[in-house]
Amino acid sequence: MASTVLEATRAAHEDLERLERLAVRELQREPANPRDRLFQSHRVRHMLDLVVSTSDKLVEIYEDKDNARKDEINTHLTAPTQSGLFSKYYERLKEIREYHRRNLSARFVSTTDDYEELLKEEPVIEFTGEETFGRYLDLHELYNEFINSKFGKPMEYSAYVGCFSQTDNISHSHKATRQYREYLEHILEYLTSFLYRTEPLQDIEKIFLKLESEFEERWANGEIPGWGNKGTEKESEIDLDYYSTVEELVELGPEKLKQALAARGLKSGGTVQQRAERLFLLKHTPLEQLDRKHFAKILRTKDGSDTTSNGNNVKDDMKKEIALMEVKMRRLCELLDEAFVRTKENAEKKLTLTYEEMEAEREEEEVQADTESDDEEQQIYNPLKLPMGWDGKPIPYWLYKLHGLGQEFKCEICGNHSYWGRRAYERHFKEWRHQHGMRCLGIPNTKNFNEITSIDEAKALWEKIQARQGVNKWRPDLEEEYEDQEGNIYNKKTYTDLQRQGLI
């Protein structure tokens, strides 16, 4: 331990430089297998944490709130005369000798050896058996919580993993419940923990801060999907000019009618026929002139806020908080996309295995984990520069040729990023990099744009699709055909008009 403030400052700067050199040296070493790469990342993360804590101590010293550093400089480093300078020098030398005489161990303390031990020790990382040392996600608790909730539905575990981040099919009334909010909190807690354990060098706090700043702007512009933004408004809008009778509105179904009524502030309860009749009143009567009995009642909550009887009693700040949690969840799912793919494949594989086969596979993984440390010490011979498999060894050459990993596919939409092998090339169309490129072009990333990597081709196809949708748009009132008893063919609008007049 340093005897003075100035010595503590010097030692802290020395520790910072040593930690930086050790971190660089550790990152320059090529890991032998995925487990070694994970240990390497955790060791570097530990060094970075030490750098941050040491830097905080230095900041505290330089702020000098108790004036200890200033007093020490005035006492030991300043002297009014030349004779006073030498007397202070010898006084200081006497203090240093006395300190080392009392603390003999201080002469032999070497922090270099302590920091070198950081490179040798193996970090303790806790994974469940299902996670297989970070290879798969363990979503069983979240799965049970989902299927036993009001907003969930029965499904297989593999199907749940496939649609894990999809929340658009959950209604707003269910999203407003405390159960759904706790479900999202559990998801964020687990995914954040898993990401920290598998990718410790990811700055999760920085990612969330950037996400929150972007979210504020998108929320103000109404661009959050599924939360009263422009997209959902379009879904709830029904053009009444296309409908001439109440029966035609009934065909839309109860949910669409309920959304349309709620968007206009009308009562959304009752049967499908009652909802259609209530909405059909707006065809000939403006909303402002409609009888007040058709509007939803205004209720006063305990906190003094006004809500409607339609069940839209979620505060704006609560809606905003839940929407932010969903955005964070989707971002974490994008970062862990490969882990989700492996987890789904593993879940589907287990459905085809018997109990004995699963036990044998688990024993094989345990034996492999025990022998993995011995394999790390052996130098891997890889003259063909084949990719490493999940076990840290080069894959067989026949497998390399079978999957075409020597073929390079470039995608202009992804910034001319290269993908090796047909499988990686086909999979990248659903990954975040390609989705971000399509979003920048203002084009939806649908199946129509699979196998398209050129920006010009994507734009040209999008223009054709937009033109085709304008020409071939289905209009049931003009294109749906009806036949009377005499065999005459009419479109739907003509047939309903003649039927209403009693001519058919």
Neighbours of 433 (CB within 10 A): 15
Cα distances (angstroms) measured from residue 153 to each of 145, 170, 307, 398:
11, 10, 29, 44
Residue 327: inside a domain? yes
Report pLDDT for 118: 63
213 and 336 share a domain? Answer: yes
Whole-angstrom Cα distance, residue 163 to residue 181? 18
Cα–chain center distance at 317: 22
Backbone angles phi, psi at 172, to 5 degrees: -65, -30
Confidence at residue 183, expressed as pLDDT on a 0 to 100 scale: 92
Question: How many helices and strands, by DSSP H and E, does the chain display?
Answer: 23, 6
Query: Is the pLDDT at 477 greater than 80, yes or no?
Result: no
Residue environment code for 131-170, b if the CB has 16+ CB neighbours within 10 A, otherwise e: bbbbbbbbbeebbebbeebebbeeeebbebbbebbebeeb
In a domain, 71, yes or no: yes
What are φ and ψ of residue 308, in 5° steps? Answer: -105, 160
Whose tokens are 């086909």? That residue is 426
For 183-224, give the secondary structure using H, E and C.
HHHHHHHHHHHHHHHHCCCCCHHHHHHHHHHHHHHHHHCCCC
Co-location of 218 and 135 in the same domain: yes
- Decide: helix, strand or coil at residue 308: strand
Query: Please, are residues 382 and 200 in contact by the beta-carbon 8 Å criterion?
Result: no
Over residues 271-292, the mean pLDDT reads 80
Same domain, 214 and 343: yes
Which band of pLDDT confidence, cut at 50, 70 and 90, is reported for residue 393?
A: confident
Residue found by looking up tokens 């289905």 in the block: 474
Q: 224-248 pLDDT, tens per residue?
A: 776 654 444 444 557 676 777 888 7
Residue pLDDT, tens place only, 114-162: 666 666 667 778 888 888 888 889 999 999 999 998 888 888 998 898 8
What is the predicted pLDDT for the residue at 7? 79
Looking at residues 257-269, what average pLDDT do you find? 76
Confidence band of 189 (pLDDT split at 50, 70, 90): very high
Query: According to the model, what pLDDT value does residue 6 have?
Result: 80
- pLDDT average, residue stretch 40-57: 88
Three-class SS state of 417: strand
The verdict on 180 and 213 lying in the same domain is yes
Tell me, yes or no, whether 457 and 482 share the same domain: no
Task: Judge if 53 and 115 occupy the same domain.
Answer: yes
Instruction: Decide if 385 is inside a domain.
Output: no
Give pLDDT tens digits for 459-473.
999 888 888 776 556
Contact predicate 185/325, CB 8 Å: yes
**Statement to judge: residues 16 and 68 lie in one domain:** yes
Q: Are 152 and 142 in contact (CB under 8 A)?
A: no
Nearest CA to 234 out of 248, 217, 222, 251 is that of 222
- Phi and psi dihedrals of 417, rounded to 5? -75, 145
DSSP 79: -
**106 and 69 part of one domain:** yes
Among 93, 119, 145, identify where a domain stops. 119
Q: With beta carbons less than 8 A apart as the criterion, state whether 411 and 426 touch.
A: no
Give the single-character DSSP code of 266. Answer: B
Say yes or no: 184 and 274 in one domain.
no
**Relative orientation angle of helices 5-28 and 111-120, to the nearest 10 degrees:** 30
Residue 230 confidence (pLDDT) = 44
Better-predicted residue by pLDDT, 181 or 306: 181
List all residues 6 or more positions away from 247 whose beta carbon is below 8 Å from its beta carbon: 276
From 124-128, 358-362, 363-367, 481-485, the region with the lowest mean pLDDT: 363-367
pLDDT band at 84 (very low <50, low <70, confident <90, very high): low
Does the pLDDT of residue 109 top 80, yes or no?
Answer: no
Long-range contacts of 248-253 (CB under 8 A, 24+ apart): 248/477, 248/496, 249/276, 249/279, 249/280, 250/276, 252/276
| Same domain, yes or no: 206 and 133 | yes
**pTM of the complete model beyond 0.75:** no
Do 71 and 150 lie in one domain? The reply is no
Q: Which of 119, 144, 168 is the last residue of a domain?
A: 119
What's the CA gap between 193 and 339, in Å, rounded? 14
Q: Which of residues 215 and 240 earns the better pLDDT score?
A: 215
pLDDT band at 191 (very low <50, low <70, confident <90, very high): very high
Tell me what pLDDT residue 473 has: 60
Residue 366, pLDDT > 70, answer no
**Mean pLDDT, the chain, as a whole number?**
79
Q: What is the pLDDT of residue 234?
A: 45
d(CA 101, CA 3): 13
Same domain, 174 and 33: no
- Cα(341)–Cα(347) distance, integer angstroms: 10
Name residues whose C-beta falls within 8 Å of residue 182's C-beta, 6 or more positions apart in sequence.
none
What mean pLDDT is predicted for residues 92-102?
78
The CA distance from 406 to 432, in Å, is: 24
188 within domain boundaries: yes
Rounded to whole angstroms, how far apart are CA atoms 412 and 452?
A: 9
**Residue 375 belongs to some domain of the structure:** no
**Which range marks the domain in which residue 492 is found?**
474-503
What is the tally of structural domains in the chain? 5
User: Tokens 């930086």 sit at which residue?
Assistant: 20
Q: In this structure, is residue 235 part of a structural domain? A: no
Residue 225 lies in a domain: yes
Q: What is the pLDDT of residue 245?
A: 81
Helix (H, G, I), strand (E, B) or coil at 418: strand
Residue-wise pLDDT tens digits, 299-358: 444 444 445 545 444 456 677 888 888 889 989 999 999 999 989 988 888 887 787 777
Please give the full DSSP string across 354-389, using - where no structure is assigned: -HHHHHHHHHHHHHHHHHHHHHHHSPP--TT-PPB-
CA dist., res. 400 & res. 406, Å (int): 7
Region of 64 on the Ramachandran plot (φ > 0 left; ψ -120 to 50 alpha; else beta):
left
Q: How far is CA 240 from CA 248, 253, 272, 282, 468, in A?
A: 10, 15, 16, 8, 24
What is residue 39's predicted lDDT score, i.e. its pLDDT? 86
Q: Is the dihedral of CA 369, 375, 380, 384 positive or negative?
A: negative
Residue 490 lies in a domain: yes
